[in-house]
Amino acid sequence: MNPSNFLEINPEVSKALNDKKPVVALESTIISHGMPYPQNVETALAVEDIVRDNGAVPATIAIIQGKIKIGCLKEDIEYLGKQGLKTTKVSRRDLPIILANKLDGATTVATTMIAAAMAKIEVFATGGIGGVHRGATKTMDISADLEELAETPVMVVCAGAKAILDLALTLEYLETKGVPVVGYKTDELPAFYTCESGFKVDTKANSAYEIANIWSAKKTCLPKGGMVVANPIPKEYALDKKMIDLTIEKAIIEADKKGIKGKDVTPYLLASLMELTKGESLAANIQIIYNNAKVAALIAQEIKY
């Protein structure tokens, strides 16, 4: 079976790709699992507007009735927003099951990368990537996002890895897999809600043009695998590092007590953070994806297709 049989590409996105115009992929887990309705829909549509305002075509990716939609329509986004947690969160291992059974699915970072690569989209904006979970030396809980970055040729613009993870081991894993981590106007890996983590990126780039050049060299010499562009949250929206670290520790202890494991950990911790920070973490999350969408569009414009 031809993989394209599972794809349904929005005409606007298809035309942009055929005309060698910049396109930015966007995930759908943030819609179904990232925040409540109607804020999730409002945010997703605002992100698409930001991509357009900065010179690229947005392609929100999701699975609707067994079809990978590359460029969801407004009604698709509304549908996913209303369905919320009823929609399956789809990572790499879930993808064939969801497609074969013609189900709905919200794409994670890993699955959005797979779908973007199938459609020949090179730039993807998200909030934060998954990574090595704290305590992974015992649990072996490592996000499929990292393996996808090692295999799939898509650039991921993000605010680093989610702050609930073990950032040091996440960087070690990416180094082992040969995935470049480029800081956008920073030489430090952002920690999602904060600009600093204490860990260095591989290199700092001061412009979208520099990042596009690094990507071009990578594609030419190392065609396998992706690249991380670490784009810090704007300082005016960053949370206090000490406060967020203590809040995360508290949420992790509660998750452990409740026996929450695997792919249920991240949504639980993010929901707990929203509650414990009285909504500050959600507001920061929204600003993160807005900022990443803008930077991704600027980079996409500089890539030679």
> Mind telling me the catalytic residues?
27, 162
Return the bridge partners of 106, or none: 62, 89
Give the angle subtended at the CA of 182 by the CAs of 179 and 184, to the nearest 5°.
155
Return the bridge partners of 70, or none: 9, 61
Three-class SS of the chain: CCHHHHEEECHHHHHHHHCCCCEEEECCHHHHCCCCCCHHHHHHHHHHHHHHHCCCEEEEEEEECCEEEECCCHHHHHHHHHHHHHCEEECHHHHHHHHHCCCCEEECHHHHHHHHHHCCCCEEECCCECCEECCHHHHCCECHHHHHHHHCCCEEEECEECCCECHHHHHHHHHHCCCCEEEECCCECCECCCCCCCCECCEEECCHHHHHHHHHHHHHHCCCCCEEEECCCCHHHCCCHHHHHHHHHHHHHHHHHCCCCHHHHHHHHHHHHHHHCCCHHHHHHHHHHHHHHHHHHHHHHHCCC
Asked if residue 158 lies in contact with residue 126, where contact means CB atoms within 8 angstroms, the answer is yes
